[in-house]
């Protein structure tokens, strides 16, 4: 049974006989469909055909499962059986394969009507969201591995250094200074002993700090943007004075955000120092930092008037580790700054976008999750 898309109902509230729901059905950007308990589409809106790249005739002619990505078939079949048992389906995610072979992710909400042997369903295309999640998970996996290796290296280095330092201190304790008459030699021994003791103390403190950091999770707090920025500006005061940088600040629209303070300060630090480093030659760096709220989402807008990027060349690499985009890099530039900025933001569920043109500066828009 296929339901005709031209079916119309006349109602007292619709004296012209125009089936207004039909218009909503047709223009919706979400995928809306009616499926039968026999596993076939009975009616679909244009968004379904557009996304899956099949004609309506092709979509009506084959079982729905023929369009499901093979790795999701079993889960889809099991879920469909629940719907057949009159259980509504909410936010079920699976993948479909388009006619050209692309994989798309859909999130389904389906309501069965047993008396009609029909299922009314709406699906949202969440492919972009899934790609962002995959990128984030890959980054987190890489960061976790890097962090693990750094911890191992730190523990190994600490362990390897402790033995020779303890040996040195043991040697000093064995020296009978009463038999040494040369004042300079005595003074030298005392200096070496104190240095070794200080080194041991520093090493122990570092180990304690490493263990403590391993037990602390990334904490989210209510942060005042102005206060966090002022702390960063104070820490690079000499750089700001040397560069004569002009920084315009406007946090009137959003004063506070829920974020990790160390991450936020790192973001400020990296973006500001980058803007100063890549200012136009013979021109004072001019930086604008402001907050805003767009569709309920808190955002931080960071822009400069520097040499900018050629986005056609670097848009896929701009937040990559060790990536460098300017010909005037000096030996202090290691390509880590924007990588850290991206990971600080994405690891806490936020997003960052960049707009830039050569010789016209760059604008970074940071959208926070909370």
Strands, E, within the chain: which ranges?
A: 31-36, 41-44, 89-97, 103-113, 118-125, 221-224, 246-250, 256-259, 286-294, 297-304, 351-356, 362-367
Of the ranges 94-108, 130-144, 151-165, 228-242, which is most confident?
A: 94-108
Let me know whether 196 and 264 are in one domain.
no
**Is the same domain home to 53 and 144?**
no
Does the pLDDT of residue 331 top 90, yes or no? no
Q: What is the pLDDT of residue 178?
A: 82
Tell me, yes or no, whether 289 lies in a domain.
yes
Of 125, 142, 172, the residue that ends a domain is 125
User: In this predicted structure, what is the pLDDT of residue 201?
Assistant: 77
Shared domain check, 140 and 120 = no
Query: Which two three-digit tokens encode residue 124?
Result: 């949202």
The domain total for the chain is 3
Q: Which of 76, 109, 125 is the last residue of a domain?
A: 125
The owner of tokens 């021994």 is 189
Looking at per-residue confidence, does 215 or 11 come out higher?
A: 215
Would 12 be classed as within a structural domain? no
Whether residue 121 is contained in a domain is answered as yes
From the CB of residue 298, how many other CB atoms can be counted at a distance below 10 Å? 21
Domain assignment present for residue 7? The answer is: no
Let me know whether 363 and 228 are in one domain.
Answer: yes
Domain that holds residue 61: 20-125
The reply to whether 207 and 160 lie within a common domain is yes
- Choose the final residue of a domain: 99, 125, 151: 125
Q: Report the distance separating Cα 172 and Cα 176, nearest Å.
A: 9
Q: Which of these ranges, 202-206, 211-215, 272-276, 291-295, has the smallest mean pLDDT?
A: 211-215
Handedness of CA 96, 97, 103, 104 (dihedral sign): negative
Assess whether 291 and 359 both reside in one domain.
yes
Percent of the chain residues topping a pLDDT of 90 = 42
Does a structural domain hold residue 14?
no
- Does one domain contain both 321 and 363? yes
**Across 147-159, average pLDDT:** 67
Residue 333 confidence (pLDDT): 41
**Residues 6 or more apart whose Cβ sits within 8 Å of residue 134:** none
Looking at the chain, how many residues does it have? 370
Residue owning tokens 């999770």? 217
Which pLDDT score, from 0 to 100, does residue 239 have?
Answer: 84
Q: What is the pLDDT of residues 231-245, one digit of tens each?
A: 989 888 878 888 899
- For residues 138 and 237, membership in a common domain is answered with no
Own/partner contacts of 107-114, CB < 8 Å, gap of 24 or more, are 110/83, 112/83, 112/84, 112/86, 112/87, 112/88, 114/86
Higher-confidence residue of 329 and 202: namely: 202
Looking at the fold, whether 225 and 363 belong to one and the same domain comes out as yes
Q: Is 0.85 surpassed by the pTM of this model?
A: no
**Residue 102 sits in a domain of what CATH number?**
3.30.450.20
Rounded Cα distance between 362 and 326, Å, is 13
Q: Are residues 60 and 182 in the same domain?
A: no
If asked whether residues 209 and 228 sit together in one domain, one would say no
Residue bearing the bigger pLDDT, 241 or 13? 241
Contact (Cβ atoms closer than 8 angstroms) between residue 64 and residue 79:
no
pLDDT per residue as tens digits for the range 15-72: 444 456 677 788 888 999 999 999 999 999 999 999 999 999 999 999 999 999 999 9
């Amino acid at each position: 049974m296929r339901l005709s898309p031209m079916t119309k109902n006349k109602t007292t509230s619709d004296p012209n006989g125009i089936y207004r729901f039909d218009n909503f059905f047709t223009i919706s950007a979400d995928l809306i469909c009616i499926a039968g308990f026999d596993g076939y589409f009975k009616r679909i809106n244009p968004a379904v055909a557009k996304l899956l790249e099949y004609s309506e005739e092709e979509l009506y002619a084959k079982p729905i499962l023929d369009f499901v990505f093979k790795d999701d078939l079993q889960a889809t079949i099991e879920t469909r059986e629940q719907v057949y048992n009159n259980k509504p389906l909410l936010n079920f995610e699976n993948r479909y394969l388009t006619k050209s072979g692309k994989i798309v992710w859909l999130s389904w909400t389906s309501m069965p009507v047993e008396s009609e042997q029909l299922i009314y369903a709406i699906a949202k295309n969440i492919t972009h969201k899934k790609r962002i999640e995959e990128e984030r998970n890959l980054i987190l996996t890489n960061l976790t591995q890097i962090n693990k290796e750094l911890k191992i290296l730190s523990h190994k280095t600490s362990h390897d250094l402790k033995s020779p330092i303890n040996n040195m201190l043991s040697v000093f304790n064995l020296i009978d200074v009463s038999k040494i008459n040369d004042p300079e030699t005595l003074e030298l021994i005392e200096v070496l002993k104190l240095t070794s003791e200080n080194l041991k103390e520093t090493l122990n403190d570092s180990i304690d700090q490493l263990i403590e950091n391993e037990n602390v999770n990334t904490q989210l707090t209510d942060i005042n943007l102005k206060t966090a920025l002022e702390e960063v500006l104070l820490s690079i005061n000499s750089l700001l004075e040397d560069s004569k940088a002009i920084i315009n600040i406007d946090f009137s629209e959003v004063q506070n955000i829920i974020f990790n303070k160390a991450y936020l300060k790192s973001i400020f630090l990296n973006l500001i120092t980058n803007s100063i480093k890549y200012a136009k030659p013979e021109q004072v760096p001019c930086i604008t930092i402001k907050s805003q709220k767009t569709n309920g989402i808190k955002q931080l807008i960071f822009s400069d008037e520097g040499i900018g990027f050629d986005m056609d060349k670097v848009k896929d690499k701009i937040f990559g580790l060790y990536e460098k985009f300017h010909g005037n890099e000096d030996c202090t530039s290691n390509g880590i700054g924007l990588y850290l900025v991206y990971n600080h933001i994405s690891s806490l569920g936020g997003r960052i976008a960049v707009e830039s043109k050569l010789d016209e500066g760059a604008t970074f828009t940071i959208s926070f999750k909370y």
